[in-house]
Structure 1
Amino acid sequence: MRSAVLFSILIISFLFASCRETENPITDFGLDYQPLEIGRFWVYEVEETIFFGENDSQTEEFYLRDIIDYSFRNAENEEIFVVKREKSVDLNNWDVIGNYAMQYKRMALIRNFENQLTVNLVFPPEVGLTWDAMAYAAADPDEFKVEFMGNATVGEQFLQRSLKVLQEEDDDEITFRDNRYEIFTKGIGLVEHYYEVFTYCSRNDCLGQMIIDSGRKTHQKILLYGKI
């Protein structure tokens, strides 16, 4: 008799929980961590260092402006947003340097940059969530992870409702360093991009000294954003 009563209680609890889930479905999937809308723009300040060899590097400071220029439907009837990228050294004169595309696909943000498809974010995001960023590319798997959600300081801006996607954090201090992450803010989009990928000198006379042989370090931080 006691077992029957317990079973009945469990059934009632399950039905009640199911009813509550039906009454309160998820409606905010977090797509606005990267809004996609024609006319949206983002201006970034960028510091970039390119390493050509031992003791040979070049550092440049400039600005990038990304503008969602137009959209189209592909063969699968998915809406693709084309982003025009411009470069400036003074925020006044801008030169178009290329474009890339973004789209939502199966609850994920897909970015097509330099013919490389990457899954940069999945929805709804939550801390600890991981995925293969190369799921749509003919490349080795690359695991991305939502490392934190909360407030973020980017440059001099304090940004609430942000999240950090850790793309890679590895440095064997002998042959390579690979540190990459991006920060997204709800209602704004990408606010910070960090890319630091080096190879170290591996000759016998410099092995283990962390002398950079080649690579690039790019730090891109949001300055302005809006819609035109």
Structure 2
Amino acid sequence: MILIAIRRHVHYLALLTIGTTALLLLDACQSVSTEPVVSGYDYQPLEKGNFWIYEVTEQQFSLNGSVATQTYQLREILTSSYTDSPNGAPIGTTTFRLERYRRSNDSQAWQPDSVSSIRVTDNQLIKTENNRSYVKLIFPLIDQFQWNGNAFNTSGEDLYQLKNTNKPFTVLSKPFPETATIVQQNDSTLVSQDKRVEIYARGVGLIYKEKVQLQFCSSTPSCVGKAQIDYGIRQYTRLRSYGK
């Protein structure tokens, strides 16, 4: 039996036992290569003062046939943090307060919109909005990996899948060389469409978000399969700037 005990960055002892003969080897200088596995935490930097400004384009479809289109800006900023155990998180978890502000265009002042929180717990990036928690990412980032985004709420299983890890993506003419795409849902039938996608960039965070949830006409045979929208939403969120 061979038993090797190693401690990083310090001297180590190797105890080699063969049969009933033990040989003690001492090496006070040799270093051990223990290159850490890249975690991917930098795909969502969490530090007080970090902010992101997004441009949002949104279409709301109503049953009466009207379509309300609007564009606006969102500003998200990590304003504070605390160490606690929110919603069953392990003791010692650092949770960040994420404040969101909204305005129609550059000429207007930012107005408070909402408050949420974000944390990393057990290698999971968890964001809590309206008292409902979602698992946004799982670390380390493994392409094609699937997980239940609703693991910490009661909405039922919703499988997310990681795709295009470390691939480039361009938003508003700005290239991001390393990104990861999370497909939360991408279903389309004759009567509905549900597409939810988020893209994160290394060293930046969320850079793109797409939400398309539509109900198509199915009341008469003539409209089935024609993608005629009864009601729903199309929403595209694109990163405009970020910093601290």
TM-score normalized with structure 2 length: 0.80
Show the 5 A alignment for 1:94-173: 94-149=110-165, 150-172=167-189
Q: 2:103 aligns with which of 85, 88, 93?
A: 88
1:211 equivalent to 2:221? Answer no
Could you tell me which amino acid in structure 2 is paired with residue 28 of structure 1?
Answer: V
Could you tell me which amino acid in structure 2 is paired with residue 70 of structure 1?
Answer: S
Could you tell me which amino acid in structure 1 is paired with residue 93 of structure 2?
Answer: E
Deviations 1:8-34 (A, max 9, x none): xxxxxxxxxxxxxx8334343010100
Deviations 1:123-164 (A, max 9, x none): 110211111111111121111111102111112110011111
1:221 equivalent to 2:199? Answer no
Could you tell me which amino acid in structure 2 is paired with residue 159 of structure 1?
Answer: F
SS of alignment partner, residue 63 of structure 1:
strand
User: 1:77 Cα shift?
Assistant: 2.9
SS of alignment partner, residue 38 of structure 2:
coil
Alpha-carbon separation, structure 2, partners of 1:54 and 1:101: 37
Could you tell me which amino acid in structure 2 is paired with residue 89 of structure 1?
Answer: S
User: 1:54 Cα shift?
Assistant: 4.8
2:50 corresponds to which residue? 40
User: 1:84 Cα shift?
Assistant: 0.6
Residues 213/115 of structure 1: CA separation in 2 closer, same or farther (3 Å cut): farther
SS of alignment partner, residue 62 of structure 2:
strand
SS of alignment partner, residue 53 of structure 1:
coil
Runs of 4+ in 1 over 4 A off after TM superposition: none
Structure 1, unpaired ranges of 5+: 1-21
- 8 Å Cα contact 1:68-1:82 kept in structure 2: yes
User: 1:209 Cα shift?
Assistant: 2.4
As a proportion of its length, which structure holds more helix? Answer: 1
* Percent of residue pairs identical: 26
1:13 corresponds to which residue? none
SS of alignment partner, residue 155 of structure 2:
coil
Could you tell me which amino acid in structure 2 is paired with residue 26 of structure 1?
Answer: P
Could you tell me which amino acid in structure 2 is paired with residue 168 of structure 1?
Answer: Q
2:39 corresponds to which residue? 29
1:185 equivalent to 2:196? Answer no
1:53 equivalent to 2:66? Answer no
Alpha-carbon separation, structure 2, partners of 1:213 and 1:99: 32
Could you tell me which amino acid in structure 2 is paired with residue 39 of structure 1?
Answer: G
- 8 Å Cα contact 1:54-1:212 kept in structure 2: no
Could you tell me which amino acid in structure 1 is paired with residue 133 of structure 2?
Answer: L
Structure 2, unpaired ranges of 5+: 1-31, 86-90
- 8 Å Cα contact 1:54-1:211 kept in structure 2: no
Alpha-carbon separation, structure 1, partners of 2:41 and 2:187: 29
Give the total of aligned pairs: 205
Give the root-mean-square deviation of aligned CA atoms. 1.5
TM-score normalized with structure 1 length: 0.85
User: 1:195 Cα shift?
Assistant: 0.4
